[in-house]
Structures are given as C-alpha cells and as structure tokens.
Structure 1
Amino acid sequence: MHPDIDRVLLYSPEFAADPHRAYAAMRAEYGPLVPVELAPQVPATLVIGYHTALRILHDPEHFPADPRSWQHTVPADSAVLPLLEWRPNALRSSGAEHARYRVANTSAINGVDLGELRDAVDELATALIDRFRRAGTADLVREYAQPLAFGIVNRMLGCPAEIGERIARGMVAIFEGDDAAQGNRLLTEALMELVEHKRAEPGADITTSLLNHQVALDDLELVHQLVVLYGAGIEPLQNLILNALLLILDDDRFGGDLLGGSLSTRDALDEVLFTDPPMANFCVTYPRQPVLIDGVWLPAHQPVVISMAAGNNDPAIRADDRTGNRSHLAWSAGPHACPARSAAYLVAQEAVDQLLDILPDLELATPASELVWRPGPFHRALATLPVRFPPVSALPR
C-alpha cells in the first residue's frame, strides 16, 4: 500500500462510537485489506475479511509476530508502542522462541484448577455485589467487572494486593495511552517484584509454575510472560463481561429468553464474541518481505492487524442465527491462538450469572445508544455501564 494513501483512523472517538459502520464503509471502499492508522504516524493494514484473516493467522512463516524490524520506525513516545513493541514472550516472538514460551505458558494455564477458579469467581463476585446491592444503582465497569477481572487474574498468578495495585495502574496507562511509557516502566518494575516474591514464597499459581518450568525462563523472560497474562487477562476479560451484560440487558432475544431458560449465558457470550469481541483489532504480524495477498501488496516489516470484529461480521460468512456457533476469531487462530479460552469462558459466565442471580431485575440506567465507548485501536470497551435495580437487603443463602 502506498505510504501517502488516505488512512482510516482507528484511534478516533468517532470510530469507537460506531466501529461496525466504519467496517462496512471500509469494506465497500477497500475490500478485505484496509489502510489504517493505529496512532499518529503509525500506519498499518487492517484485515477485515474472514478468510483472509485465517490465511494470515495460519501462516507464521510469511507473517511472523516479531516487531523488532518495525518498532524503531515509529515515534518513541507513541501511545501504541508499549502494546506492540518486542518482548521476550509468546505474543511477540516467532519460530523456536515462540514455541519455547508457548509451552511454558500453556502448561502453567492448564495447571489452573477450574473448580477452584469457579469458587473464587463466585466469592469475589458476591463480595463486590454486596458493596452496591443496597444502593439500587451501580456502574458495572468501576464497581464490578474491572475489580473482578483484576482480582481473579491476581489470584491465578498468586500476586499480593500491593504489587497488584501497581500492576493495575501500569496496565491502565498502557491501554489508555496516557503516558504509556511510564505505565510500561511501572508495570515492569511491579512484575519483577512479583517474580522475586514467588521465588521466595512459591504457591499453587501460574507464576510459580512458570518459575519451575523445565524451559528455564530467566527473570526478564518471566516478567514478559506475565505482561501477556495480565494484558490478556484483565482488559479483554472485563470487556467480555461488560459487553455480554449489555447485550443481555438491551436485547430482548437474550434478556427475555435468558431468564426464560431458552438461551444461556454462554450463548450471550458467544454472540458478543462474534459481534463485539473485547479485543476488536489485534493479532499483529509483520511480513518478512513484501507479500501480495488479495491483489494488494503488503509492505515488509509493517503491521498487519487482524480485525476479529470485522472478520466475524464479514458478509461472506455471516449467518443470522449463531446460537452454538463458535467459529469466530475472538480467540485468534493458528499458533498464537489464546490458550486460556476455558478459563476466560468460565470467569465471564460465572460473573454474569452471579450478578443476574442476585439482582434479577437489573436494567440499564442509560439507553444503550447513549453509552460511551473508550477510544482506542484495539479494544471494544465501555467507559461506563450504569444500571439500576430494586435494592436488595440481604444476599441469598
């Protein structure tokens, strides 16, 4: 693609407000490959065709995930650099190094006891709901989904609260783009403390499993595995919970049928993973050399970003009834597919079910059309989700 071509700005408030309208306009003008800007002076190609996306995701030889040949070409203070820069972890590596990191992460994640995880979600969800159940109103972003996702990831990784608070501040700064470089430093320092803490006090958690894995990760590698686990665990998880709750509360197909027992919370989650996946545009790769795909030359060492949201809604594959259909791209595909799908589904489903069980008359306090979505090229994230409900004097036993 020519460097001077007009590009769609993925970081604008207008894009955040109605990305599906933007995807439709992109498809009409450009087809499956779209020239975009991820941040000022950060050009990229956005893949909005489902079959094109799968082809790229399954071809790491031509589309590796290592950004080192690219990252020196963007402004050092770019808001997206901390999210996209090279780190010694599975997300930003290719070949043998990717395989080494991947096996350690997969082993640690698979070691999580899902029964204990379900109990932990129920316990934390109930405690959070207990704080606002008498008020009759709540912001489910600030008071529920955000602290729940953060608390559960901390529990899974064996992170003490004090270290976790600094990790959370660093993650927020990186995702929001407000002094992302400082957020990156804060995050790295806190994670190094977590590694040192778990070396001194090991436990039944993911961090300890990574420390003990036979691939013998060094301290820097350990820190950057944890960067991915926190990044993939907090922001996408809270957005999945919130987007599913919005769908259930706003759409009669789900709200009415869900309470009537026809559609399950899992169906609502799958619908969201198709229509508004929590990470809408991600899975970034960097071609080793110019590549001709779908009649378009993609330049070497420039970001190729997969739009899970647009790909899922490609007219070439879209079906009206998606009940039970899990062929979406929300978990990615190929060698970089998310290894924590079972845990993420469990946490999101339990979080939604606990809230609706305790507050069955929950409803939106603001029309869905007036809700504000946080700008950003990658996430699909509500700024707030205000709700109201009849106050509950006591928790059910």
Structure 2
Amino acid sequence: MKVRIGMGLLLCCALPLQAAEFVLVDTAQGLDVGNWKVSSDSLGIKSKIPFSIEKKRLHGGRQEGVDVIVVDNGTLQMTLVPTRGMGIYEVRGGDLRLGWESPVKEIVNPAFIDLESRGGLGWLDGFNEMLVRCGYEWTGHPGVDDDGRLKSLHGRVQNTPASVVRVTVDETPPYAIHVRGRVDEKTFKFSDLSTWTGVTLVPGEAAFTVEDKLTNQADYDNEYQIIYHGNFGAPLLEEGARISAPVKQISPFNDYARKGLDSWQTYLGPTKGFDEMVFNIVPYSDAKGNTLAVLENRAGNAGVAVDFNVKQLPVLTLWKNTDTLQQGYVTGIEPGTSYAYSTKYQRPLGLVPTIKAGESKHFTLRYQLLRDKGEVQAALDRVKAVQGSQPTELRRDPLVQLPH
C-alpha cells in the first residue's frame, strides 16, 4: 500500500501494491491538503471507466469553509461533506438525482448552527442532504430526557467535522474507491464515541455502500442510537410514486399519521398544508438478516433500493413530507436502531441500545440507483422474496402517546 499526503509519497511498503491511500485531513498532524484532485489517469490506472476524486473548499455565506469531496466513478457523481459529519449531499446518475430540494440552499458550516435553538430544532438550519447520520449519542425528536437534559433533534454527529479524512483507491480491478472519515463525539463526563464512516464506489456501478464503525472509547458502557436518514425528492418522488418493503408491522408515529396508514405505500404530489406523516416499520428479513426498501416513480422505470441488515438496524422509519416544492418535497427512508421519538419514549420500547466500554458496532447499507423498469422490477422481486406469504400487521395506534 502507498500512503500519501496529498500527492506526496509518505510511506511505501515492500509488499505488492494493492491500494493507494491519500490522507486529506488529520487534526493530530495539523494537516489539511486544501483543494486536491486525483484521477485514474494521474494514478496510472488503465481502467476502462475513468474516475476521479476531488476535494474543494466552499466560500461565501453560511457555507464558508465547508469542504466537499466529489467522487465521479464514471456512472455516479457523489458529493460528500467532511465538514458535516461525512454526510452525502447528493448523488447524480444521468438524469436522475438522489437528493432533494430543501429551502436550505447552502451546505451550511456547523459553526453557524445552534443545535439547541427553537427548542432543540436548530439541526434543521442545515438540513438538505441526501444521507444524514442521526446519532450516535442520541437521535430522534428533541426533548428533555429523564435526567433533565435537553437532547436536540437527531443528535450531533451530522454537525461535527471529520477529524481524519482518507481516500483509498484499489490498484487492482475493479479499482474500488473508498472515502473514510473519523467523526468524534467527545464531551467530558458524557461521551467518548468515535465513528469511522466509510463510502465505497466501484467504477461504472450505479450503486454505493456505506460502512461505518462506531466505537465506545470510554471506560464505561453508554447508550447509543443511529438513524440513517436517506432523503429523496424529485424526480423519483412524485404523485403516484410508491414505496415497497417487506413489512412485519407498521404503525403511525402519531395521531396525525393514523389517517394515512392505509395509503402508506403511495405518495401525493406537492400538497400545500400537508404536515409530515411518519410511520414506524418492523421489517421482515432473510435468514441472514438482510432486507431492503424500494422507492419507485409513478412509471416504475426509475427508483432507488436501500439494503440494510436488521441485526444492525432493526427498525425502519418512513417519513412522508409531501409539502410544496418550495417548502421541501421529500420522503425519508430511514433504517435505524431507533424510531424518531425522543430518547425517553424509546427506552420502554427497547430501542435505546447500549455499547459496552471498548466495544465497536458496525453498520452497512447499500444504495442502488434503479435506472429502468428491469432494475426496478428486480428490486421489487427481492422485496417479494423476503415478504413471501408472511402477513403485514397494520397497527392503528401509535406506539407512543405523545403529549399535545
């Protein structure tokens, strides 16, 4: 393996070359390479599908100082944001986009966000990404926990800049591209969590894999929670779009969502006055714990498949926010350890797990852009195979009775 800072060689071992690694950010070394780019050509890789990885810094407004990494694997163009917890801003493939149009147009530097403003809703000041990690110390709606402390919306990790960022390119076919970042949640007396986030793209593939490793570095056991908040708008989301998953049980998040329970699989077009509807789902899985959810457009010729494992992420939240385009027309497909209730309501549900001192937890998800009817149907067939003849329970009452 070659380990480089930027384009300068740092270390070369005597073993056969299998990968080239570039260190882009490392706070322990006081290192930030600034604007940087590498490509298959500059690496001397004779790939049939050229690819590139570029890091650049944004300027102006609330995005001042934000770093983004754009990975082009020849089929997909992904924009990652190390400054925002290694979140994924968007993924584009041809005429299709995984992402959505939020009223928040800039990629906001966390320095301009107060998570506790608006009663703990400050997180929304920067919310516009395709994939947001909600956690890991806590997640869910804001609320005062049993210990009397306010826990703000969806935790802190998405508004924490990565302390280390590395890019690795395999130097043997299929030349997989790996972008990894370490995001730390460390507060004296409270938390000592470190998460190595990872995204892998293979040149030419219309899919990518998220592989994260959460470690509790404290000497004490602690709670943790995570929701992988994947967000999709037009062109996939439209009137008549449909969500499919192998569902064991589905329930409304609150009384408002109850009236949408029977039509949970279909979507309205942009609708003024439509408040968000959220549904709690217990998915079925195969013998290995693998399951998926599929969003398809009205014509059934484009969509996205989200694969995950219920041994890591046992529940699924479906967020339907079919408000106006200007307000934010979007749906969330959100595998997690927890639903979106505030933490104190989830402990009685057994959805606030514990991570032991020194223990690590692993999370793997795969996102596939479905580009034609054949790919959509193949994904739907996988849903049907997991569901089989097993029944779906529509639970009419919310799992939690929230105060009005």
Normalising by structure 2, we get a TM-score of: 0.22
Normalising by structure 1, we get a TM-score of: 0.23
Greater strand fraction, Structure 1 or Structure 2: 2
Greater helix fraction, Structure 1 or Structure 2: 1
